[in-house]
Amino acid sequence: MNNNEKILEPITKGISIDEIGVDYYQRPVYKNHVKKIIKNFNVDLVELPKVCRRDNRWECWDGQHTILAAKAMGYTHITCKITEVATSQEAARLYSSVNAVGFSKALTPIEDFQALKHAEDELTLTIDALTAAHGFVISKSKAPMNIMSIRTLETIMKRQGAEVLATVLDIVASCYSEDAVATNATFIKGLAYFIRRNEGISINILKRKLGQMSAEDIRKEAETSRMFKGAKAYENVFRGIYGTSSLRVAG
């Protein structure tokens, strides 16, 4: 071999399927996805599951659906790609990353959030702590006090900061704990815009005024706006409710 050659040669190993475990941070099993793998199965095209050896056991951190499909088809062993991962948190971070770049079936925002939470990602842990402190649950449910719009919370954290997000969550929990409309992504983002751009306002006065108007009425007014769309329309409604100057159309 030429000394200048650099060969990418992953380490693989045939492992008993019964000896492979899956950590809890991964997404739930989607039976339809397993059926799809079985239906289109081709041994030459199958993506190798990625596993690591930790605590005297094999842990799959990517590819659980492939393993389940193989087992359903009668296979007792499966060839896996062996990776050196020291901790469960590191495996969770890799799991999030490999799905983010498109090597595997994409995670939903909530599935990615759960993986990064297990990986002890700082941003994710902060969001989790803030939502929990105000009584919210991160889930797909559309019930009141359930938030599905993870990406919106991440954007607010990155652009407006933890203080603004905490204030938004406090307002929604105080005024609309029984109203699922208030946990809509655009509603939350519009409220964050308003809080960030009007730092001198009284939050108590804002809460009192919002308490006189339902989240559904705010949504209707924002969505019928002729001047603004999306979060800016909501921001303009909050300005009107509080009594600050309305936004003006650029140009």
Question: Confidence class of residue 34 from pLDDT cuts 50, 70 and 90?
Answer: very high
Q: In what order do the strands lie in the sheet with 77-82?
A: 12-16, 77-82, 50-54, 57-62, 20-22
How much is the pLDDT for 104?
Answer: 60
d(CA 118, CA 218): 36
The reported pLDDT for the residue numbered 248 is 44
Question: pLDDT confidence of 251, banded at 50, 70, 90?
Answer: very low
In which residue are the tokens 């208030």 written?
Answer: 182
What are the pLDDT digits (tens) for 109-146? 998 898 899 889 999 999 999 999 999 999 988 899 99
pLDDT value, residue 18: 94
**What whole-number percentage of the chain has pLDDT above 90?**
61
pLDDT given at position 85: 81
pLDDT score at 185: 95
- pLDDT score recorded for residue 47: 85
Assess whether pLDDT exceeds 80 at residue 3: no
Over the chain, what is the mean pLDDT? 88
The per-residue pLDDT for range 73-100, each reduced to its tens digit, is: 999 999 999 988 878 888 888 888 876 6
Per-residue model confidence (pLDDT) at position 2: 60
**DSSP letter string over the chain?**
--TT-------EEEEEGGGEEE-TTSPPP-HHHHHHHHHT--TTTPPPPEEEEETTEEEEEE-HHHHHHHHHTT-SEEEEEE----SHHHHHHHHHHHHHTTSSSPPPHHHHHHHHHHTT-HHHHHHHHHHHHTT-EESS--STTEE--HHHHHHHHHHT-HHHHHHHHHHHHHH-TT-GGGGSHHHHHHHHHHHHH-TTS-HHHHHHHHTTS-HHHHHHHHHT-SS--HHHHHHHHHHHHHTPPPP----
Predicted confidence (pLDDT) per residue in 173-209, tens digit: 999 999 999 999 999 999 999 999 998 899 999 999 9
Query: Can you give the pLDDT at residue 203?
Result: 94
Interval 221-248 mean pLDDT = 86
Report residue 161 as tokens: 């900061």
Q: How far apart are CA 190 and CA 41, in angstroms?
A: 46
- Among 57, 56, 124, 132, residue whose Cα is nearest residue 89: 124
